[in-house]
């Protein structure tokens, strides 16, 4: 399946690299990464070791492919969608953190938009080299739930390349569960500068569990059935599976980049406000991260 990966940072390079084993892939990425991939190929190290030769470009305009996989940061989804709208795709798949990305894509693109989650650990070590730091899976499906032939076709293409893939008919619930996991792990690890496993014990555990529990409560108020226990179990499972990893928000803070706080804990606070609910832990961590972003000149 001819695929464009828009936003080939850590996760995008890993997914694009694995897809390139069986499919025609174009990476849209930063200049230094593009140059190295063109000269020396894309090297995947760690679990899924391989070197592949996808096409690579810095210019995402006027591209045509069967599938566009979106892996940009949530804050960059609008500009990614506007750029992609100059090209032509049969389907678009969001593999991003946070909520609201699919709506942003649907509003600006004609192609059907699928929702997805990816739990592979990925770190872009240097231009042209991405490490797979943990095997995971990709779950994808229609963004409103249910099934579609398109989702099946994309799922088959991913599986054929060796990505562990599930086509799901309950994406709204899965996106909320991922949000609850990220709402617990990401801000706590970023603010405390600790690896994901630190949220399994001590004061970090109380804070992460509270943020996750609040997220599950807001999900239920949005008619998505997810108990607090289920959400906390999911958060603890991910923290244990990725114990030594650096969360994406901690990576952003360390690199002095704007984080995805608005689409994660900020989203929970917004939905809670609309529904007349309290989300004090999410509110607090959102304020702290936004304060850091402001102090760093990022917002």
68 - beta bridge partners? 4, 92
36 binds ligand KPL per the rule CB under 6 A: no
Out of 26, 36, 101, 186, the residue judged to bind ligand KPL by CB under 6 A: 186
248 binds ligand KPL per the rule CB under 6 A: yes
Out of 26, 97, 212, 281, the residue judged to bind ligand KPL by CB under 6 A: 97
Find the shortest distance in angstroms from Cβ 249 to ligand KPL.
Answer: 6
96 binds ligand KPL per the rule CB under 6 A: no
Sheet holding 64-70, edge to edge: 55-57, 25-28, 3-6, 64-70, 88-94, 113-118, 138-142, 165-167
CA 201 to chain centre: 25
Q: Could you tell me the two tokens for 116?
A: 């997805």
Residue list 166-185, contact with ligand KPL (CB under 6 A): 181-182, 185
For residue 45, the surrounding DSSP H or E stretch is strand 42-46
Candidates 33, 43, 108, 178; catalytic one = 178
Find the shortest distance in angstroms from Cβ 261 to ligand KPL.
Answer: 11
Out of 26, 127, 247, 259, the residue judged to bind ligand KPL by CB under 6 A: 247
Find the shortest distance in angstroms from Cβ 229 to ligand KPL.
Answer: 19
123 - beta bridge partners? 131
Tell me which residue of 53, 55, 43, 36 sits closest to 14, measured CA to CA.
43
63/263 with CB nearer ligand KPL:
263
Residue 10 CA to residue 100 CA, distance in Å, equals 21
Is position 73 annotated as part of the catalytic site?
Answer: no
90/241 with CB nearer ligand KPL:
241
**How many residues bind to ligand KPL according to rule CB under 6 A?**
11
238 binds ligand KPL per the rule CB under 6 A: yes
Residue 116 CA to residue 73 CA, distance in Å, equals 14
Contacts of 71 (CB under 8 A, 6+ apart): 5, 6, 7, 8, 9, 11, 12, 15, 95, 96
205 binds ligand KPL per the rule CB under 6 A: no
Residues taking part in catalysis:
178
Binding site for ligand KPL (CB under 6 A): 97, 181-182, 185-186, 196, 238, 242, 245, 247-248
């Amino acid at each position: 399946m001819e695929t464009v990966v828009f936003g080939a940072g850590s996760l995008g390079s890993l997914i694009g690299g694995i897809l390139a084993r069986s499919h025609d892939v174009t990476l849209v990425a930063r200049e230094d990464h593009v140059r190295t991939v063109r000269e020396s190929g894309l090297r995947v190290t760690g679990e899924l070791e391989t070197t592949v030769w996808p096409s690579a470009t810095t210019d995402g305009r006027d591209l045509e492919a069967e599938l566009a996989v979106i892996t940009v940061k949530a804050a960059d989804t609008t500009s990614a969608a506007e750029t992609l709208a100059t090209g032509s795709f049969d389907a678009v798949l969001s593999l991003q953190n946070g909520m609201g990305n699919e709506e942003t894509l649907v509003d600006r693109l004609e192609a059907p938009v699928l929702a997805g989650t990816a739990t592979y650990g990925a770190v872009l070590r240097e231009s042209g080299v991405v490490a797979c730091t943990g095997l995971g899976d990709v779950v994808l499906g229609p963004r409103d739930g249910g099934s579609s032939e398109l989702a099946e076709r994309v799922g088959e293409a991913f599986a054929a390349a060796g990505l562990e893939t599930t086509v799901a008919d309950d994406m709204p619930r899965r996106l909320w569960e991922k949000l609850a996991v990220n709402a617990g792990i990401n801000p706590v690890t970023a603010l405390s500068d600790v690896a994901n496993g630190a949220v399994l014990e001590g004061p970090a555990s109380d804070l992460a569990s509270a943020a996750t529990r609040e997220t599950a409560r807001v999900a239920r108020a949005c008619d998505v059935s997810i108990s607090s226990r289920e959400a906390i179990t999911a958060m603890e499972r991910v923290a244990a599976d990725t114990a030594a990893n650096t969360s994406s928000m901690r990576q952003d803070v360390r690199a002095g980049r704007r984080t995805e706080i608005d689409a994660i804990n900020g989203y929970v606070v917004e939905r809670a406000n609309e529904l007349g609910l309290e989300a004090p832990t999410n509110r607090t961590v959102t304020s702290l991260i936004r304060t850091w972003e402001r102090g760093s000149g990022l917002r």
